[in-house]
C-alpha cells in the first residue's frame, strides 16, 4: 500500500510539472572558467562575478569536463549563467539534475550565497541527488539576473554540470521529486526490501544449517545494502572510507555470486574459487585509505573497476557454462549477473563523463534486479519444496494404502485360518465331550440293557440324562458374551419342564454379576454340567419340593448357590463312594475352570456352592 501511495503521489507531481513547464526558464547557455587553488576552502557569503578573472568561455549545458593531469593542487570551476530576469510572482526555485564534483559546492544568486553542500568533503551522494534550491523571500523579491556556481574539486576529477531550471517552486517540484524518487526513493525501498528478505533467510538458515544457500543469500543482501548506500544516504564517515566500502563491496558481491552458482551446479572449481576469494582481499588491502594504500585517483579506480568487470565476466561466463543446461536456477543467477554488469557499465560511463550528466545512474537498480532474480530463485525453491513434500506425501499415502491392502489381505487370511482352527478345535472338543459323556453313558446303558440288569424306568431315566447332556453341549455353543446369568437362564429353560414334571418348585434368586471375560464354550459347558449335575442329584435322591438358585459376589469371584429342602446326606461318605458323574465329577470340572465346589448338608436340606474367579491366571483361548 505504501508503494502504491508513493507511486500515485509521484504520478501526480509529474503531471503537475508537465502542465506548468511553460512557466519555467530552461537555462542551457553558460560560461565557465577554471582556476587553481591550494585546497578546499569555505565559500564567501557574497561574491561579485566581476571580481573573478576575465577568462570566461562560452558553453552549452549540460557541460562535461574531463580530468586534467593529476597534481597536488585543487581547482575551482566557475559556471556563470545570465538570466534575462525572472520576476518573483510566486516562490521561485532552482532545479538541476546533477552537479558533479568531489569537493564543496556553492551557488550564488545575484551575488548572494544561497546554497552550499559537501562541506569538508564528508558527503558522498551529490552524484545521485538532484539540486533543489528554493529561493528565500529576500532573494526572490528581486528579479534573478545572474546564477554563479562554484565547484571545488581535485585536479583529476571530471566535473560535470547539467542544465538548470528556474521558475515557480510548485511548477518545478514535480520534476525534482520525480527524479529524486526514481534515483533515490525507489532504489532505497528495493534495498530495504532486499535486506529484510535477507534477514529472513538468515533465520531460515539458523533452522537449516545444512543449506548454505540461505546464508549466502543473507550475505548477498547485507553487502548489496552496504554497496548501494551512497545512492541515497549521507554517512557521517570520511569520504575515502565510504568510497573504499563501495568499491570493495562490488568484489564481495561477485564472490558471493560465484559461490552461489557453484552451489547450484555442484562443481568445485577450486582455482577459480581461490581467485575469487583472493582478489577481494588483495583489492581491499591495497585500496585501504591509509598512508601506504594506493592513491584514490581516477586511474587507480579505473584499474579496479576493470578488474571487477573482468571478475564479473568470469563469474557470468563460467557460471553460465556450468549451469546453463543443468540448473534453471543457475540460469537465473547468470542472467542477473549479466544485467547488473550492463547497469554497472552505464554507471561507469556516467561517472567518467562518457555519458552526459543528465543521464540516469542505473546501478541504483542492480539491487532491485538482484532482489527480483534471487527472490525468484528462492520462490522456486519454496514452491519446489512444497511440491516435493506433496509428492512425498502422495507417495507415502499410496504406499500406506498398498500396505493397508496387504495387511487387510493378511488379516483376512489369518481370520480364515483362525476360523478354521476354531472350528477344528470346537469340533474336537465336542467330539471329546460326547465321547467322554454321552458316548460313555450310552455304552453303559447298552451293556446294561443287553445283560437285562436295568428296568424300563431306569433305561428311560438314563436316556433322559443322555438327552440332557446333549442339550447342554448344544447350549454351550451359544454366545453368552461373558454373562454368567445368561448361561444360567439357558439352563433354567432346559430344566424347568423336568422340574414341573417332578412337582418341584424353582425359586430363582439371581443378582447382577460382573462379566467373566474367560467364559468360553468349553468353560460354559463345564459350568452347565456342574449345575445340571447338582439339580439332577436333588431330583433323583433328596425328595425335595423346592429348589432355590441364587448368585452372589464373594471376594475375587462370584458364587452360584443351589439349595433344596429335601433330605440331607453324608458329604464325606458320598465323596468317598462317588464315581462316574457324581460329586467327584463336579469337583474335577470345577478345578478345570479354576473354580471350587462345596456342599453343606443337614437332616433337612442341602446347600451346594460353586465359586468362580473373576479373572483366571491362564485364560483359555477360543
What pLDDT, in 10s, does the model give residues 162-199? 999 998 888 999 999 999 899 888 888 888 888 898 89
The domain that contains 573 carries what CATH number? 3.30.565.10
Residues 64 and 11 in one domain: yes
pLDDT at 620: 42
Q: What is the mean pLDDT of residues 531-552?
A: 86
In this prediction, residue 415 carries a pLDDT of 82
How open is the CA angle 382-386-389, to the nearest 5 degrees? 135
One domain for residues 10 and 53: yes
Assess whether 523 and 595 both reside in one domain.
yes
Q: Which of 54-63, 403-412, 452-461, 569-578 has the lowest mean pLDDT?
A: 452-461
Last residue of a domain, one of 180, 199, 215: 180
C-alpha cell read off for 400: 500406506
> How much of the chain is in helix, strand and coil states, percent to nearest 5?
55, 20, 25
* 193 and 155 assigned to the same domain: no
Q: What is the CATH number of the domain that holds 282?
A: 1.20.1070
Percentage of residues in the chain with pLDDT exceeding 90? 16
423: in domain? no
User: What's the structural domain count of the chain?
Assistant: 3
Query: Do 270 and 346 belong together in one domain?
Result: yes
Average pLDDT over residues 426-452: 65
- Name the one residue in this structure whose C-alpha cell is 489381505: 409
Q: How large is the average pLDDT for residues 388-392? A: 90
Could you tell me if residue 470 is inside a domain?
no
Does the pLDDT value for residue 202 go beyond 80?
A: yes
Q: Tens of pLDDT along 234-289?
A: 655 556 777 788 778 888 988 988 888 888 888 888 888 999 999 999 988 888 88
| Residue at which a domain ends, from 340, 361, 390 | 390
| Dist. CA 172–CA 134, nearest whole Å | 10
Same domain, 175 and 249: no
User: Quick check: 155 and 73 in contact, CB under 8 A?
Assistant: yes
How long a stretch of residues is the chain? 622
pLDDT tier at 453, thresholds 50, 70, 90: low
H-run or E-run covering 420: helix 366-433
- Determine the structural domain holding residue 165 and report its residue range: 2-180
Distance CA 404, CA 400 (A): 6
Residues 199, 346, single domain; the answer is: yes
What was the pLDDT predicted at 621?
38
Residue 430 has pLDDT above 70, yes or no: no
> How far are the Cα atoms of 207, 307, 379 from residue 210, in angstroms, in the given order?
9, 33, 19
Q: How far is CA 569 from CA 550, 575, 590, in A?
A: 21, 11, 21
Q: What is the pLDDT of residue 398?
A: 92
Residues 52, 97 within the same domain: yes
Between CA 223 and CA 284 the distance in angstroms is 14
Q: Is 48 exposed, middle or buried (0-12, 13-18, 19+ CB in 10 A)?
A: exposed
Let me know if 283 is exposed, middle or buried by CB neighbors in 10 A (0-12, 13-18, 19+): buried
The reply to whether 603 and 494 lie within a common domain is yes
Evaluate whether residue 269 is within a structural domain.
yes
Distance CA 182, CA 179 (A): 5
Asked whether residue 535 is assigned to any structural domain, the reply reads: yes
Please calculate the CA angle 71-74-76 and round it to the nearest 5 degrees: 135
Torsion of CA 613, 616, 617, 621, to 10 degrees: 160
Domain boundary among 390, 414, 435: 390
Q: Is 466 exposed, middle or buried (0-12, 13-18, 19+ CB in 10 A)?
A: middle
Question: Per the domain annotation, does 196 fall within a domain?
Answer: yes
Inside any domain, residue 434: no
* DSSP line for 87-127: --SS-EEEEES-EE-SS-EEEEETTEEEEEE-GGG----TT
Q: Above 50 in pLDDT, residue 619?
A: no
Confidence (pLDDT) at 580: 45
Q: Is the pLDDT of residue 12 over 60?
A: no
Q: What is the mean pLDDT of the chain?
A: 80
- Domain assignment present for residue 436? The answer is no
**Which pairing describes strands 546-554 and 505-509: parallel, antiparallel, or unpaired?**
parallel
Supply the pLDDT for residue 165: 94
Half-sphere exposure of 517 (CA within 13 A, CB side): 6
Amino acid at each position: 500500500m505504501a508503494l502504491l501511495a508513493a507511486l500515485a503521489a509521484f504520478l501526480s507531481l509529474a503531471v503537475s510539472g508537465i502542465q506548468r513547464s511553460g512557466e519555467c526558464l530552461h537555462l542551457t547557455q553558460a560560461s565557465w572558467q577554471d582556476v587553481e587553488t591550494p585546497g578546499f576552502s569555505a565559500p564567501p557569503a557574497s561574491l561579485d562575478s566581476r571580481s573573478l578573472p576575465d577568462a570566461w568561455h562560452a558553453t552549452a549545458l549540460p557541460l562535461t569536463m574531463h580530468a586534467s593531469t593529476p597534481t597536488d593542487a585543487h581547482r575551482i570551476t566557475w559556471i556563470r549563467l545570465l538570466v534575462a530576469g525572472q520576476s518573483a510572482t510566486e516562490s521561485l526555485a532552482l532545479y538541476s539534475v546533477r552537479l558533479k564534483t568531489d569537493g564543496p559546492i556553492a551557488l550564488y544568486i545575484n551575488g548572494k550565497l544561497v546554497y552550499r553542500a559537501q562541506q569538508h568533503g564528508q558527503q558522498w551522494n551529490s552524484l545521485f541527488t538532484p539540486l533543489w534550491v528554493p529561493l528565500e523571500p529576500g532573494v526572490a523579491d528581486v528579479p534573478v539576473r545572474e546564477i554563479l556556481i562554484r565547484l571545488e574539486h581535485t585536479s583529476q576529477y571530471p566535473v560535470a554540470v547539467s542544465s538548470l531550471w528556474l521558475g515557480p517552486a510548485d511548477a518545478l517540484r514535480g520534476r525534482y521529486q520525480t527524479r529524486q524518487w526514481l534515483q533515490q526513493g525507489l532504489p532505497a525501498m528495493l534495498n530495504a526490501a532486499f535486506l529484510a528478505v535477507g534477514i529472513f533467510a538468515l533465520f531460515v538458515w539458523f533452522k537449516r544449517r545444512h543449506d548454505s544457500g540461505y546464508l549466502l543469500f543473507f550475505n548477498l543482501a547485507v553487502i548489496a545494502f552496504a554497496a548501494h548506500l551512497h545512492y541515497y544516504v549521507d554517512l557521517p564517515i570520511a569520504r575515502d572510507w565510504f568510497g573504499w566500502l563501495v568499491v570493495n563491496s562490488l568484489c564481495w558481491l561477485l564472490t558471493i555470486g560465484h559461490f552461489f552458482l557453484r552451489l547450484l551446479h555442484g562443481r568445485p572449481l577450486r582455482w577459480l574459487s581461490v581467485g575469487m576469494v583472493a582478489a577481494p582481499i588483495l583489492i581491499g588491502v591495497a585500496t585501504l585509505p591509509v598512508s601506504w594504500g594506493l592513491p584514490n585517483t581516477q586511474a587507480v579506480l579505473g584499474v579496479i573497476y576493470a578488474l571487477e568487470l573482468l571478475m564479473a565476466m568470469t563469474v557470468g561466463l563460467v557460471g553460465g557454462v556450468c549451469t546453463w543446461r543443468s540448473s534453471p536456477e543457475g540460469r537465473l543467477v547468470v542472467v542477473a549477473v549479466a544485467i547488473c554488469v550492463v547497469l554497472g557499465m552505464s554507471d561507469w560511463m556516467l561517472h567518467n563523463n562518457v555519458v552526459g550528466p543528465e543521464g540516469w545512474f542505473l546501478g541504483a537498480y542492480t539491487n532491485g534486479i538482484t532482489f527480483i532474480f534471487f527472490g525468484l530463485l528462492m520462490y522456486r525453491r519454496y514452491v519446489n519444496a512444497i511440491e516435493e513434500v506433496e509428492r512425498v506425501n502422495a507417495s507415502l499415502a499410496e504406499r500406506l494404502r498398498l500396505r493397508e491392502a496387504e495387511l487387510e489381505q493378511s488379516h483376512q487370511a489369518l481370520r480364515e485360518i483362525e476360523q478354521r482352527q476354531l472350528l477344528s478345535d470346537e469340533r474336537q472338543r465336542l467330539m471329546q465331550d460326547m465321547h467322554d459323556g454321552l458316548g460313555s453313558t450310552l455304552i453303559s446303558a447298552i451293556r446294561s440293557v443287553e445283560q437285562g440288569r436295568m428296568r424300563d424306568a431306569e433305561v428311560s431315566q438314563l436316556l433322559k440324562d443322555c438327552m440332557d447332556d446333549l442339550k447342554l453341549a448344544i447350549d454351550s455353543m451359544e454366545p453368552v458374551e461373558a454373562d454368567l446369568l445368561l448361561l444360567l437362564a439357558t439352563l433354567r429353560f432346559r430344566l424347568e419342564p423336568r422340574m414341573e414334571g417332578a412337582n418341584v418348585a424353582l425359586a430363582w434368586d439371581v443378582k447382577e454379576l460382573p462379566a467373566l471375560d474367560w467364559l468360553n464354550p468349553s468353560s460354559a459347558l463345564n459350568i452347565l454340567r456342574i449345575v445340571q449335575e447338582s439339580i439332577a442329584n436333588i431330583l433323583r435322591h433328596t425328595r425335595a419340593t423346592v429348589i432355590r438358585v441364587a448368585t452372589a459376589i464373594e471376594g475375587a469371584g462370584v458364587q452360584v448357590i443351589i439349595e433344596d429342602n429335601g433330605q440331607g446326606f453324608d458329604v464325606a461318605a458320598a465323596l468317598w463312594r462317588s464315581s462316574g458323574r457324581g460329586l467327584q465329577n463336579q469337583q474335577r470340572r470345577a478345578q478345570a475352570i479354576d473354580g471350587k465346589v462345596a456342599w453343606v448338608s443337614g437332616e433337612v436340606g442341602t446347600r451346594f456352592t460353586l465359586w468362580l474367579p473373576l479373572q483366571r491366571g491362564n485364560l483359555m483361548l477360543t
